[in-house]
Amino acid sequence: MLFTPPRLGVGLGYRPPLHDRIVAAVDRIDFLEVISDQYLYVADERVERLVELMDRFPLVPHGVGMSIGTASPPDPDYLARLNRFVHAVAAPWFSDHLSFTKVPETDVEQLQPLWFTEESLDVVVGNVRTVKAAIPDVDLLLENITYYFQLPFNDMSEAEFTTRVLESTDTGLLLDVNNVWINSVNLGFDPHEFLDSIPLDRVVQIHIAGGVDAGGMIVDTHSAPVNEHVWRLLDHAVSRSPVKAVLLEWDQDWPDFDILLQHLDRARAVMEAHHGRVRR
Instruction: Give the span between the Cα atoms of 112 and 49, in whole angstroms.
Output: 32
Evaluate whether residue 108 is within a structural domain: yes
Evaluate whether residue 111 is within a structural domain: yes
- pLDDT at residue 7 above 70? yes
Here the CATH number for the domain that contains residue 104 is: 3.20.20.150
Percent of the chain scoring above 70 in pLDDT: 97
Evaluate whether residue 239 is within a structural domain: no
- Count Cα neighbours of 38 within 13 Å in the Cβ-side half-sphere: 11
Query: Structural domain tally of the chain?
Result: 1
Instruction: Identify whether the C-beta of residue 96 lies closer than 8 Å to the C-beta of residue 140.
Output: yes
Q: pLDDT band for 13, please (50, 70, 90 cuts).
A: very high
Evaluate whether residue 57 is within a structural domain: yes
Residue 21 burial (CB count, 10 A): 16
Evaluate whether residue 258 is within a structural domain: no
- pLDDT at residue 106 above 80? no
Evaluate whether residue 27 is within a structural domain: yes
Instruction: Give the span between the Cα atoms of 207 and 244, in whole angstroms.
Output: 12
Give 219-273 pLDDT, tens digit per residue. Answer: 888 899 999 999 999 999 999 999 999 999 999 999 999 999 999 999 999 999 9
List Cβ neighbours of 8 (8 Å cut-off, separation of 6 or more). Answer: 30, 31, 58, 60, 92, 244, 245, 278
Per-residue confidence (pLDDT) for residue 110, from 0 to 100: 77
Evaluate whether residue 256 is within a structural domain: no
Q: pLDDT band for 280, please (50, 70, 90 cuts).
A: low
Give 54-71 pLDDT, tens digit per residue. Answer: 999 999 999 999 999 999
Evaluate whether residue 49 is within a structural domain: yes
Percent of the chain scoring above 90 in pLDDT: 86
- Name the pairing type of β-strands 172-176 and 203-208: parallel
Residue 169's domain spans which residues? 12-219
